[in-house]
Structure 1
Amino acid sequence: MKYYIISGEASGDLHGSNLMKELFVNDSKAEIRFWGGDLMQQVGGTLVKHYRDLAFMGFVEVLLNIRTIFKNINFCKKDILQFKPDVLILIDYPGFNMRIAEFAKKEGIKVLYYISPQIWAWKENRIKKIKRDVDEMYVILPFEKEFYEIKHQFPVHFVGHPLIDAIASRAQVNEIKFRKEHHLSNKPIIALLPGSRKQEIKKLLSVMLKMVEKFEGYQFVIAGAPSQDYKFYQQFITKDNVKFIGNKTYDLLSISYAAIVTSGTATLETALFKVPEIVCYKTSWISYQIGKRLINLKFISLVNLIMKREVVTELIQNDCNEIRLESELHKILETKKRNQLFLEYFELEKKLGGKGASKKVAELIIKQNPEIN
């Protein structure tokens, strides 16, 4: 069976790679062509474009790069027609993928969507296009099944969250060896996760690093995104008590005492590692003003959205400042708050379902397409 997979960011690369592994296990004749990253490339198949060439964040940034985006869309359409896949598998990345879904459906290609676009947050009217262009939807958040099936009468498959598997399957870290290898002190570690895109890193890392001189009893470590190299981060590292570790976020989180995290999938990853965290988000003024009027959510972090209450503190835009961050960091370093967070995190994990999300999706895809096999 021929699969064409499109993932446009780091989290999609992770989930795409695990799905590909299961497709190869369940389909001995699997032929996979994909847009993704290093993790997907390591599994096999043919990489068409790397997600680092696709990631543009915010309304202004998208407008500035609109010609490149449309060029990529047109190239993708031609590449799909040449490959002639049996199924198209889209992983999140809705701005790009919904356009490709419409095109593929018109061309008679079966469209499968793994990890739903967050239409429950904004652009809910996209449900019309999803109903029209998507044949099967595999959702990973418990409230999404209710959203689609009860509110919009569109049947979906809740498969559990793939992060459960990704974290459970990782090799255990030898903390002593890890600290020695990366020249870390013996102080408790506060991990800094400023995101994966250059725009968000520039906005957030400078604020995060202001905590270094205020918490001298801790070792601060920047978790470098796989899409960025060390040279980009160097401009921000001006203090001795700051270390940089690239592309080893899970290893770092496994030995961290606390974390300051940019909103996104990383907030959920940090919680699943049971690390007390503060969530930060800051973008350009105009992007924030537009987003505030379009997004109808009480929270921005996945942790709080899934739990339907404030579990982790969110510092958004003007609240993401030195004074507030220092105050909230003190709180999550205290025993009482930490114990409360640990209990909340265990409840969160239960809500996400059991292991085997990628396996379930692969088996469903093959089961739902017996005529192709």
Structure 2
Amino acid sequence: MKYYLIAGEASGDLHGAFLMKAILRNDPQAQFRFWGGDKMKAVGGTLVKHYRDLAFMGIVEVVMNLRTIRKNFSFCKKELLSYQPDVVILIDYPGFNLRMARFAHENGLKVVFYISPTIWAWKQSRIKIIKKYVDRMMVILPFEKEFYARLGYQADFVGHPLLDELKEEKQVPKEVFLRENHLSEKPVVAVLPGSREQEIKKILPVMMAAAKEFPEYQFVAAGVKSVSPAVYSDFNIPVVFDQTHALLRASVAAMVASGTATLETALLNVPQVVGYKLNILTYFIGKMLVHLRFISLVNLIMDKEVVQELIQFDFTAQNLAKALHDLLENESRRKEILAQYAQMREKLGSEGASERAAAVVAEVLQQ
């Protein structure tokens, strides 16, 4: 069978790679053509577009890059018509992928969406597009299936792929990680400023200003290879590239930009404080459109504040240092967070998300 996958971000590349491996176990002759990254490329097939050329963060940034985005739409449409896949698998990246769902469906292609758009946060009207153009929607957060049911759509809850990804990856002993990255024996605090250049430039300076208050700790940034090393070079901080999980396993606490990284940090049992900052115009537009109590996946899944969130104007070096001090020095606070992490893990369900997702794809192909 021929599969066309579209992932537009680093997390989508990771989840897409595991899904491709699961598909291959069901269909050893599978042919893949995809938008994604190095992890999907390592599985096999043809990488058409790298996600580093696709990730535009925020409303203002999207408007500024409309010409490039339009070119990508046009190119992708030609790709689908030329390749004629047996199924199109859209992985997150909703602004782009929902439009491609419509185009693919209208041209007789089967469409599966893996990792739902956050229509429970904003743009609930997207359910009309999903009902009309998506053959199957696979969700990975426990509350999403019930949400879709209330809107009259049957989604498939497959579980969160991170559970599988963390289980399968090779664990690096802390002493080996420290030695290979030329780090000292000081306790490590992980700095996860995001995966896009735009957000790193806004978030990392605040995190580094807070780090100055803790000379007894070493702060280490999780870098991504899709971002130029020069983005990190203005800061006096060691950077380890594509070793986020090894870094977290070696850390006593973490400062984390909102996103999948907050869930990764929780699943690796590292107490964290979450911080985020947007372009000011994007922030105010978002405030009018998005109505959520929380932005971190940990708090959203638990429906309460498990980890502290510092957003926009609250995201200052002073506030961040105060929150981090509480994580490092208050043992009861640390124990409370870890206990909540354990409950969150139970809510996520069992491992095997990628296998269940691959089974849904197989069902669609058989219909």
TM bin, normalised by shorter chain, reads over 0.9
**Does residue 1:259 correspond to 2:254, yes or no?**
yes
1:292-326 CA-partner distances (Å, limit 9, x unpaired): 00001110001000000000000000000011111
- Please give the residue correspondences for 1:49-64 in structure 2 after superposition, counting only pairs within 5 Å: 49-64=49-64
**Does residue 1:280 correspond to 2:275, yes or no?**
yes
Q: 1 CA distance for matches of 2:132 and 2:20?
A: 26
- Please give the residue correspondences for 1:250-329 in structure 2 after superposition, counting only pairs within 5 Å: 250-329=245-324
Q: Which residue of 2 aligns with 1:125?
A: 125
Q: 1 CA distance for matches of 2:54 and 2:211?
A: 33
Q: 2 CA distance for matches of 1:229 and 1:247?
A: 13
Q: Which residue of 2 aligns with 1:15?
A: 15
Using the TM superposition, give the Cα deviation of residue 185 of structure 1 relative to its aligned residue in structure 2, in angstroms.
Answer: 1.0
Q: Which runs of 5+ in 2 are unaligned?
A: none
1:249-308 CA-partner distances (Å, limit 9, x unpaired): 011111111000000110100000000000011011101000000001110001000000
Using the TM superposition, give the Cα deviation of residue 211 of structure 1 relative to its aligned residue in structure 2, in angstroms.
Answer: 2.2
SS for the counterpart of 2:102 is helix
Deviation beyond 3 Å, 4+ runs, structure 1? none
Q: Is the 8 A contact 2:191 2:256 kept in 1?
A: yes
Which letter maps to 1:182?
Answer: N
More displaced, 362-371 or 102-111? 362-371
Q: 2 CA distance for matches of 1:41 and 1:75?
A: 20
Q: Is the 8 A contact 1:101 1:133 kept in 2?
A: yes
**Does residue 1:344 correspond to 2:335, yes or no?**
no
Q: Is the 8 A contact 1:196 1:226 kept in 2?
A: no
Using the TM superposition, give the Cα deviation of residue 233 of structure 1 relative to its aligned residue in structure 2, in angstroms.
Answer: 1.0
Q: Which residue of 2 aligns with 1:73?
A: 73
Q: Which residue of 2 aligns with 1:46?
A: 46
Q: Which residue of 1 aligns with 2:33?
A: 33
Which letter maps to 2:189?
Answer: I
Q: Is the 8 A contact 1:6 1:97 kept in 2?
A: yes
TM-score of the aligned structures, taking structure 1 as reference length: 0.97
Using the TM superposition, give the Cα deviation of residue 213 of structure 1 relative to its aligned residue in structure 2, in angstroms.
Answer: 2.0
Q: 1 CA distance for matches of 2:20 and 2:26?
A: 10
**Does residue 1:365 correspond to 2:361, yes or no?**
yes
Q: Is the 8 A contact 1:10 1:226 kept in 2?
A: no
Q: 2 CA distance for matches of 1:323 and 1:177?
A: 33
1:134-169 CA-partner distances (Å, limit 9, x unpaired): 0001100000000001x2010011000000011111
Q: 1 CA distance for matches of 2:251 and 2:172?
A: 12
Q: 1 CA distance for matches of 2:224 and 2:148?
A: 32
Q: 1 CA distance for matches of 2:155 and 2:136?
A: 7
Using the TM superposition, give the Cα deviation of residue 173 of structure 1 relative to its aligned residue in structure 2, in angstroms.
Answer: 1.1
Q: Is the 8 A contact 2:86 2:365 kept in 1?
A: no
SS for the counterpart of 2:137 is strand
TM-score of the aligned structures, taking structure 2 as reference length: 0.98
SS for the counterpart of 1:141 is coil
- Please give the residue correspondences for 1:154-233 in structure 2 after superposition, counting only pairs within 5 Å: 154-233=153-232
Q: 2 CA distance for matches of 1:302 and 1:155?
A: 23
Q: 1 CA distance for matches of 2:308 and 2:270?
A: 13
Which letter maps to 2:353?
Answer: A
Q: 2 CA distance for matches of 1:139 and 1:163?
A: 13
Q: 1 CA distance for matches of 2:332 and 2:300?
A: 23
Q: Which runs of 5+ in 1 are unaligned?
A: none
1:222-246 CA-partner distances (Å, limit 9, x unpaired): 10023213222102x23xxx21111
Q: 1 CA distance for matches of 2:148 and 2:63?
A: 30
Task: Give RMSD over aligned pairs.
Answer: 0.9
Q: 1 CA distance for matches of 2:366 and 2:122?
A: 35
Q: 2 CA distance for matches of 1:230 and 1:34?
A: 26
Say how many residue pairs are matched. 366
